[in-house]
Amino acid sequence: MGIKITDNSYKYPGVGGASIQGSSQHSCCQDAVLLNFQTGFFAVADGADRYPGTAVRVLMDFDSLFLRWPCNAFANEKIDKCSRNVMERIRCESTQLLSLLKGRVGSTLTGVKLMASQDGPWGVILHTGDSDLYEHLPATGEIRRITRNNFWMVGKTDHLFQLDHFQFTGQSILLWVTDGITIMNRMTSSDFPHTGQSCSNTPVIEDIPEKMLSIQASQGQINDDAAVMALAPSRIVPSEQKIILGYEDASVVF
C-alpha cells in the first residue's frame, strides 16, 4: 500500500483548491481528487470501502482518456460545431473504459473536461454516482446544481449516467463535493445561510474547500470520507501541473 500524495489539501492562489478528509471510521480516506492542468480534466471520486484505493485509480484512468487531447484542441471552432464530435468521442472512449473497469473497482466519478472554442471556454461533464458538481456565482450568491442524482457506480455500470456540455461565465466558481459533504443539501436554504456565505464572502477561492470541511465538521462529526474542490475555470491556464489527493492501494492491478 502507498500514499499517492502526502498532503490532504492543495491550493493554487487565485485559481482554486481542493481538500480531502477521512471519517473517524476509516484509517485511510477513500475519496480522491484529481487536478490536471495539462489535460484540463478535474474530478472527484468516492471509492467504495470494499475496493480500497480505487478512487485514485478511476481518476487516473479517466484522465488518461485526455492525455493526447489538449484543452485548446478545438479552439478555432464554434461550440455548436465541435461539441457533437467531442461528446461522441468521450461517450465512446468512456464506455470502453467502463467496460474494462467493470467488476474491478467501485467508485463514483464527477469530472469536468475543460475545452476552448471561438465562443469562449466550455466544459464537458462526466458524471456517475452520488458525488456532485455545483456552479456558484459569488456576485449574486446563486448556487446551481449541475449534476443529477443517481447511484450508478464505476465498476458496475456500462455507461456514464450524465454526459453533458455546459458554458460558464468569467465569474463562475465550480464546486465539486462527495457525499460526505451533507451540508450542500441545505446550502441555499434560508435556515442555513452561513454555508452559502462561506463561499460568497470568501475573497480567496483556494480556501473554500477547507472552509466547507470546517462547516461540515461544525454540524457534527464527519461520518463519511469527504472531498471538496473549488475552481474558477476562467482563470485556469494550461500547464504541466498534475495533482492527486487520495490513497492508492498498490495491490490494485489492471
Distance CA 19, CA 21 (A): 7
Residue at 172 is within a domain: yes
In this predicted structure, the answer to whether residue 145 has a pLDDT above a threshold of 80 is yes
In this predicted structure, the answer to whether residue 247 has a pLDDT above a threshold of 60 is yes
Residue at 210 is within a domain: yes
Residue at 154 is within a domain: yes
Cell of 245: 489527493
Residue at 213 is within a domain: yes
Q: Write down the pLDDT at residue 4.
A: 38
The CATH number of whichever domain residue 227 belongs to comes to 3.60.40.10
Mean pLDDT on 126-145: 92
Distance CA 226, CA 230 (A): 14
Note down the domain range covering 52.
2-248
Mean pLDDT on 4-12: 73
Domain count, the chain: 1
Residue at 254 is within a domain: no
Q: What is the pLDDT of residues 102-113, one digit of tens each?
A: 999 999 999 999
Q: Write down the pLDDT at residue 72.
A: 72
Q: What is the pLDDT of residues 179-208, one digit of tens each?
A: 988 887 665 433 333 344 455 454 589 999
Residue at 102 is within a domain: yes
Tell me which amino acid residue 112 is: V
Question: Position of cell 461528446?
Answer: 87
Confidence grade of residue 36 (pLDDT, cut at 50, 70, 90): very high
Residue at 211 is within a domain: yes
Q: Rounded to whole angstroms, what are the CA distances from 55 to 21, 215, 244? A: 14, 24, 11
Residue at 253 is within a domain: no
Distance CA 121, CA 79 (A): 9
